Amino acid sequence: MTEKIDLNKAYLPSEEVVVREIEGEIVIVPLTSGIGDLEDELLTLNETGRDIWSRLDGARPLAEIVRDLEAGYDAADGLVREDVVGFLQELCDRRMIVAKDRDKD
């Protein structure tokens, strides 16, 4: 059972992936087994995906990141939050991001 995305938590890229920037593309490469759908697939992010990904520093709660993004995008109320949560849930299900465990700080 994968974790539900929580707006009060901070997230960061998992140590089970390697994130590379190649010719302007963010490419997420699985490092350990069981990441992603198929072994021969890589993930790249579009501009919006990059915008979200680049803010995942493990320090700021997701709600704060959503507020930042809402200020930069012309979108209907709630749409940005819905999109960000949906996108991060997909990455979380693939074990590509993890919630920062504040107790370990």
Partner 1 sequence: MTAKSYVRKVRSGEDRLWRASAPALARLDVELTERCNFACRHCSVGLPAGDRAARAREWPAARWKALLSEAADLGCLVVRLTGGEPALRDDFEDIYVHARRLGLRVMLFTNAALVTPGLARLLADVPPLEAVEVSVYGLTPESSEAATGTPGSFAATRRGLSLLGERGVSFVVKGAVLPPTRGEMDGLEAWAAGLPGLAGPVSWVTLLDLHSRRDAARSAVIAGLRMEAGEFVRLARRGGEAAVDEWREFCGRDGRPRGDRLFSCLPAAASAAVDAYGRLQYCLGLRHPDTVYDLAAGSLREAVTDFLPRLRERRAAGPAYLERCGRCFLKGLCQQCPAKSWAEHGTLDTPVEYFCDVAHAQAVAAGLLERGKKAWTVSDGAARAARRNGA
User: Where does this chain bind partner 1 (CB under 8 A)?
Assistant: 18-20, 22-25, 27, 29-33, 37, 39-46, 48-49, 52, 69, 73, 75, 79-80, 82-83, 86-87, 90-91
Shorter beta-carbon distance to partner 1: residue 76 or 105: 76
**What end-to-end distance do the CA atoms of the chain give, in Å?**
25
Minimum CB distance to partner 1, residue 102 (Å):
26
3-state class (DSSP) for residue 4 = coil
Q: Chain centroid to CA 104: how far?
A: 21
Shorter beta-carbon distance to partner 1: residue 12 or 102: 12
The Cβ of residue 91 has, within 10 Å, a number of other Cβ atoms equal to: 23
